[in-house]
Structure 1
Amino acid sequence: MDDDICLNFDLLRVYLPDNLEEKPSGFFNDFGSVNNYCPNSYCNTDLDKITAGFLLLFEKNCSKFKSTNSDENNTNAIFLYIISWLSYKLNQITGHSFTKVSDFYTEYVNNQTYTNLILNANKCTNIKDIINKKSDLLNINIQEMAKFYEPFKLLCSMYDNATRNIYDNTLSDNAIHFLNKYTDLNDYYNIEDTIHSKILYALLTDYNKLKTKCANRTTNPIQLPSLPTGRATKSFLRNSSMQISVIPMTFIFFGLIIYLGIVYKENDSKTQFKNQKNKEENKSLTCDSKSSDYFRNSNNY
């Protein structure tokens, strides 16, 4: 993982915190060249700020995307990390109709307004070309992609620990937390030839680089836990709507069985009661008939 990518996110979070309720340490419109990507050079809404931050992250990594010597796996990783942040932020706000990242890009970025803003920024005028070449990576659900942001953020924290030679419990705790998050996502989303598997691969690759670095230290080497590499085992539940629908249907099914059982038992009890009542009535009629016959015979004598 390139240290610069994590630093760019750290700087952006100063002006646009991950938590919407958190007060930013700096005024957003004062952040570097971010105003170049704001309508009328000023971002008013959360969506304006998120879009500007998204484009600024591409500007900061423009040289890596443009370089012919760049490893495609590395540029894909940077691209996916940016998309995970974007999805995380979009998932926090309301008032938009975006379901996939591609919806956001098509409706909000890929228009004349932002085309002019990008061209006038004079920093990375081919941002849209970079994004369009990797447009297949935009075809992912925003809610799902947002889940990958926290593991990426944890990975950046671990790289920061290693860079500053902080090899204490902080690094180990972050590694365990990352392992748990990664394992959970892997169980649901590691399906071959999907965007999910690509970002899992990016996280795995960058984590293993750090793992090797920690293990090869000349003094006090650290053995970080290994990550799972198997395919998803819970992929049938990865769609939240499916999870929501399966559970109520299960309750409905069992509820129906219980209801039918109660109805059957109640009807059976009524039937038994009715049969018993009929028997008693028949018995009573028989007794009355015998009594009448007895009295008639007595009178004849």
Structure 2
Amino acid sequence: MNEDMCKIFEMMWEDFPDTLGNDGNYQFKNEDIYSKYCDSNCDNCRTDLDKINAACFVLFKIFFEDSESFMKNAKCNMNIAQYIIIWLSYILSLKENNNISNLKDFYDLYINSNDKYNDKITGVKDYTSYKDLIDKNNYFLSMNMKIVSKFYTSFKSLCSMYNEIEGNKSNSTKCLEEAKNFVDEYEKHNENYDINKDSLYSQILSTLLTDYNNFKSYFVEKCSHCRDISAFPVIKTTSSLSIASKLIPVLLMFAIPIFLGIAYKYSLFGFDKRVQRQTLRKKYK
């Protein structure tokens, strides 16, 4: 995880709000969705599920399009695919969707027979397409959507910390508030036997823990008046989780090294201009 990844998800949250309206329906921003995610073709996004699938595909395309996206970087191994699945699981879990009761149903309906997911990933030997990446890592077929969605609040809190410190580098208050929220949610997961007994979900916990600890170093680097991370709450981990986090570089089936310089990919969907506008608005407030 890093600031570039969280900027992309922040814009995804703008277009695909993660709460339902008073009528119990999604509050998607259809005009933006049609132009950015659906190739300006309404036929590609007739239903809410069509729109969710379009967003899922765009995320895979931004992060995994070519060899540069897979380039190993010594500073950061971001488990982007895990976070895409967490986002997808949470959005799907907000309301009942016809024919979709688990991630396998979504896979069968939207990925297995969708030519877009067979688009080639250039310059990468291990994966020939997005579908090949998904299939080889078993993201959809082995994970329970209801359990995965429980990690969403922790993931969003962590991303909010990155976005907050990026937008206000002289004030740490909001970051510390988000850190407390993150730790509270994390420790709930850590005490949940049903999650900890399954190594797949333990790996997600380990990823969140690693990214939280990495953020504290990033915080000291970016916050102009912040040189002490002692104010951040410490996470108490189980012995099994501590062992798992140490083994992650070798065993983690989801870990995909991502090159930090992915910011240029925003331009694929007009994200770069939106970031610039947001930055300018904050600068002149």
Shorter chain as normaliser: what TM range? 0.5 to 0.7
Structure 1 distance, partners of 2:29, 2:176, is 29
Structure 2 distance, partners of 1:179, 1:198, is 17
Distance of aligned partners of 1:48 and 1:123 in 2 relative to their CA distance in 1, 3 Å threshold: farther
Contact 1:100/1:138 (<8 A) preserved: no
2:201 maps to which of 188, 196, 207: 196
Highest relative contact order (Cα 8 Å, sep 6+), 1 or 2?
2
How far 1:99 moved relative to its partner?
4.1
User: Which digits, 9 at most, give the CA deviation of each residue in 1:152-201, with x for residues without a partner?
Assistant: 11101111222231533211111111110000011115536621111111
What does residue range 13-24 of structure 1 map to in structure 2 within 5 Å? 13-21=13-21, 23-24=27-28
Q: What is the aligned partner in structure 1 of residue 83 from structure 2?
A: 81
Structure 2 distance, partners of 1:63, 1:70, is 17
- Asked whether 1:205 is paired with 2:207, we answer no
The structure carrying a bigger helix percent of its residues is 1
How far 1:135 moved relative to its partner?
1.2
Q: What is the aligned partner in structure 1 of residue 138 from structure 2?
A: 135
Structure 1 residue runs of 5 or longer lacking an equivalent are: 234-301
Q: What is the aligned partner in structure 2 of residue 174 from structure 1?
A: 178
1:186 maps to which of 187, 190, 201: 190
* CA RMSD after TM alignment: 3.3
Structure 2 distance, partners of 1:37, 1:58, is 19
Structure 1 distance, partners of 2:101, 2:73, is 31
Q: What is the aligned partner in structure 2 of residue 101 from structure 1?
A: 103
| Larger mean Cα displacement after TM superposition, 146-155 or 19-28 | 19-28
Deviating 4+ runs (over 6 angstroms): 120-125
Contact 2:111/2:117 (<8 A) preserved: no
How far 1:103 moved relative to its partner?
3.2
Structure 2 distance, partners of 1:167, 1:25, is 31
Structure 2 distance, partners of 1:97, 1:26, is 22
User: Max radius of gyration: which structure?
Assistant: 1
Distance of aligned partners of 1:47 and 1:23 in 2 relative to their CA distance in 1, 3 Å threshold: closer
Distance of aligned partners of 1:103 and 1:25 in 2 relative to their CA distance in 1, 3 Å threshold: closer
Q: What is the aligned partner in structure 1 of residue 257 from structure 2?
A: none
Q: What is the aligned partner in structure 1 of residue 3 from structure 2?
A: 3
Q: What is the aligned partner in structure 2 of residue 296 from structure 1?
A: none
Equivalent residue letter for 2:92: L
Contact 2:7/2:163 (<8 A) preserved: no
Contact 2:103/2:141 (<8 A) preserved: yes
2:112 maps to which of 102, 110, 113: 110
Equivalent residue letter for 1:88: Y
Secondary structure of the residue that 2:237 maps to in structure 1? coil
